[in-house]
């Protein structure tokens, strides 16, 4: 048990999928895992462990934003021995060629700041995904016929952004999408020698202003969970 995770020793699997919403963690565990059990309810951040095709898996919420994810990623790796962490979440597209419902697999993630900024001081550390996980996810997505884009994303500190100049500059440099967690996940994983990947479904578009309905988001989220599981155990 840690400050934020009430699981007992051995209840967290080596492979952890991390949606932001704890209720999505509950839904995904019940939909995809065999015999899931709830291993964490501290502060309402739900975590469940079960098996997928005979492989032990934990699906644990991360909360919204890099500070929240940093807490759970650190404790999952450091205190429970998690070795593979895959963020499964939504993102906003920043390029016209990236469409609603497309999948973005983040090779790298840029940010203005992260909770780990104090570690590096003047150094601009470049957090990146684990290549093996990334390659497996691309193969799994293409086998399912899912439109997939691989490249850099932006992990933002704010949800209600008022920097259109920054959005334009990032798009000019080929940044595919924006979300709020991946940069810190990649940094924490690198620090502790774990594998990490962010697989994101485009739920809204900063250019066209399209957005998925709640029903469409659930279907797209299911596809993403299956791709994440396939990537982890390929």
**What residues form the annotated binding site for phosphate?**
20, 24, 43, 87-90
Q: Is 192 buried (19+), middle (13-18) or exposed (0-12) by CB count in 10 A?
A: middle
Residues annotated within a binding site for a purine D-ribonucleoside: 4, 179-181, 203-204
What's the rounded Cα separation, in Å, for the pair 60 and 62? Answer: 7
3-state secondary structure of 209: coil
What's the rounded Cα separation, in Å, for the pair 47 and 2? Answer: 13
Nearest-5° angle of CA 37, CA 221, CA 208?
A: 155
Contact 131, 214 (CB under 8 A): no
Residues annotated within a binding site: 4, 20, 24, 43, 87-90, 179-181, 203-204
Catalytic residue among 14, 161, 204, 216: 204
Is 79 among the catalytic positions? no
Catalytic site positions: 204
């Amino acid at each position: 048990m840690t400050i934020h995770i009430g699981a007992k020793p051995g209840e967290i699997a080596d492979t952890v999928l991390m949606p932001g919403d704890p209720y999505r963690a509950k839904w995904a565990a019940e939909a995809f895992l065999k015999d899931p059990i709830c291993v964490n309810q501290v502060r309402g951040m739900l975590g469940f462990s079960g098996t997928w095709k005979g492989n032990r898996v934990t699906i644990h919420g991360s909360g919204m934003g890099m500070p929240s994810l940093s807490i759970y990623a650190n404790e999952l790796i450091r205190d429970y021995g998690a070795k593979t962490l895959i963020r499964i979440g939504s993102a906003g597209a920043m390029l016209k060629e990236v469409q609603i419902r497309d999948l973005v697999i983040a090779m790298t993630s840029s940010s203005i700041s992260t909770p780990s900024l104090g570690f590096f001081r003047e150094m601009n550390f470049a957090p990146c995904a684990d290549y093996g996980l990334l390659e497996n996810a691309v193969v799994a997505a293409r086998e399912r016929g899912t439109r997939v884009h691989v490249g850099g994303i932006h992990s933002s500190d704010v949800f209600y952004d008022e920097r259109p100049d920054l959005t334009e500059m990032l798009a000019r440099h080929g940044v595919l999408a924006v979300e709020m967690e991946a940069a810190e996940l990649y940094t924490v994983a690198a620090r502790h020698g774990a594998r990490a990947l962010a697989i994101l479904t485009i739920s809204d578009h900063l250019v066209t202003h399209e957005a998925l309905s709640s029903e469409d988001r659930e279907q797209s989220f299911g596809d993403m969970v299956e791709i994440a599981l396939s990537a982890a155990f390929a």
